[in-house]
Structure 1
């Protein structure tokens, strides 16, 4: 009877461990599960705005290249045809100060914070038009990056080459959520007007596509929290040596008693 009780105890211990580390159900894993939610385009309402601390690469073009030299303190042109290189590292850069302004050649202080990149282009084009006929203005946000942390395969900070990136694209760059990531409560931290705001997104619901943070802004932080199984597994990891020792003792005792 003693041997039977010990054997049953070992089996029970194994069942408890397996139960506590079991995987989540399908409804906790599948993204955008079907429901009656109506989807709409939210990008126009949530286009990233320029803000203090942003670094802008700005270049001015025109038919008369010489007329643009006063605005392009370092020439963004390559070759004799005047073709501009969008990713040219030598394009002049301007930092938006705490007042939301940049100091642009000939024009002086220009407030760009609070504008979208497109609005900033149109505003500068209007100002430059006072000096150049039919100018072209290009603005590139050099410090647009997002950070993805938590239960993803490759957490880190990722540069964004344009001003449009979705939450899904950011998670994709981080290798997607691991099996232990909580998909129903993804946190996005965003700073707006000097105030940090928190948003929660349920990736299993179609309504996530309507979230105000579905389109990310520069310097957004995305955090995926661990599920219960992951938390429990961390406890098991800390006590692995104890469990191994106990299992070894049980196996030894069972072996001796069953000889």
Structure 2
């Protein structure tokens, strides 16, 4: 009788476990409190800043190419029958936050935006060049997306900024098991790690200090309760199978004897 009782209750116990592991709609929908046709004003005054170990491309040009040539670094690459082909050399922001610029020397750019560096260089070049055009580009802008996303990895970024939504889009979005209300962004400030969290279920995420990512940010999506429960069930799967086999064998023996 005890065996029959357990056999009749076993499917019910399994069903309860499955229901307990299911995520509800409020756990997975983005921007739940956004109203229809609601207008959002972006108050996030994000401006990208250069950091230590950034690789920066800087090109100076004027109407007089000979005059601007000394302020651009090149190296020669052998190109078959064409001889040496010049290729521009990028600048590495050293541990002091500086780059070694031709003719001018050391310039501190850490903590400055591309526009601020452009203004700084124009002032430094005023004695040498007239109305220089200065193009500045960060060459090693990458973000890393880990955890409960469909395609975790490190992704290069084209442009000067990227939102956390765009970054998650590169990683194929969160899986159904990703915890949307507690996404972690790990940011490095010259060797100091800062941990921030963002709730993607709320429209207030758009005003978060980590809505715009910076170079080398790491985004980590934690597993939700459903994923944790599923993992626990997976670990116990062999035990359930063993118990089920024993109960089934016992039931067959009892029914045969009866």
Which TM bucket (shorter chain)? Answer: 0.7 to 0.9
Check 1:253–1:111 CA distance in 2 against 1; reply closer, same or farther (3 A cut).
Answer: same
- Compute the displacement of 1:2 (Å): 4.5
Checking the alignment, whether the CA contact within 8 Å between 1:182 and 1:224 is kept in structure 2 is: yes
1:155 and 2:156 matched: no
1:242 and 2:236 matched: no
What are structure 1's unaligned runs of at least 5 residues?
77-88
Question: Residue in 2 aligned with 1:220?
Answer: 217
| CA distance in structure 2 between the partners assigned to 1:17 and 1:249 by the alignment | 21
Checking the alignment, whether the CA contact within 8 Å between 1:54 and 1:95 is kept in structure 2 is: yes
Check 1:238–1:3 CA distance in 2 against 1; reply closer, same or farther (3 A cut).
Answer: closer
Check 1:135–1:141 CA distance in 2 against 1; reply closer, same or farther (3 A cut).
Answer: same
1:113 and 2:110 matched: yes
- Compute the displacement of 1:131 (Å): 1.1
Among candidates 75, 92, 95, match of residue 92 of structure 2: 95
Question: Residue in 2 aligned with 1:40?
Answer: 41
- Compute the displacement of 1:75 (Å): 7.3
1:196 and 2:193 matched: yes
Question: Residue in 1 aligned with 2:125?
Answer: 128
- Compute the displacement of 1:207 (Å): 0.3
Checking the alignment, whether the CA contact within 8 Å between 2:3 and 2:247 is kept in structure 1 is: no
Q: TM-score normalized by structure 1?
A: 0.86
Question: Residue in 1 aligned with 2:29?
Answer: 30
State the SS of the aligned residue for 2:162. Answer: coil
| CA distance in structure 2 between the partners assigned to 1:70 and 1:112 by the alignment | 20
Check 1:140–1:213 CA distance in 2 against 1; reply closer, same or farther (3 A cut).
Answer: same
Question: Residue in 2 aligned with 1:60?
Answer: 60
| CA distance in structure 2 between the partners assigned to 1:25 and 1:41 by the alignment | 30
What are structure 2's unaligned runs of at least 5 residues?
77-85
Check 1:153–1:13 CA distance in 2 against 1; reply closer, same or farther (3 A cut).
Answer: same
Check 1:35–1:172 CA distance in 2 against 1; reply closer, same or farther (3 A cut).
Answer: closer
- Compute the displacement of 1:54 (Å): 0.9
Q: Cα RMSD over matched residues?
A: 2.4
Question: Residue in 2 aligned with 1:142?
Answer: 139
Checking the alignment, whether the CA contact within 8 Å between 1:145 and 1:218 is kept in structure 2 is: yes
Checking the alignment, whether the CA contact within 8 Å between 1:40 and 1:210 is kept in structure 2 is: no
Of 95-104 and 12-21, more deviation after overlay is shown by: 12-21
| CA distance in structure 1 between the partners assigned to 2:253 and 2:29 by the alignment | 49
- Compute the displacement of 1:255 (Å): 4.0
Question: Residue in 1 aligned with 2:13?
Answer: 13
Checking the alignment, whether the CA contact within 8 Å between 1:59 and 1:92 is kept in structure 2 is: no
| CA distance in structure 1 between the partners assigned to 2:3 and 2:98 by the alignment | 81
Q: TM-score normalized by structure 2?
A: 0.86
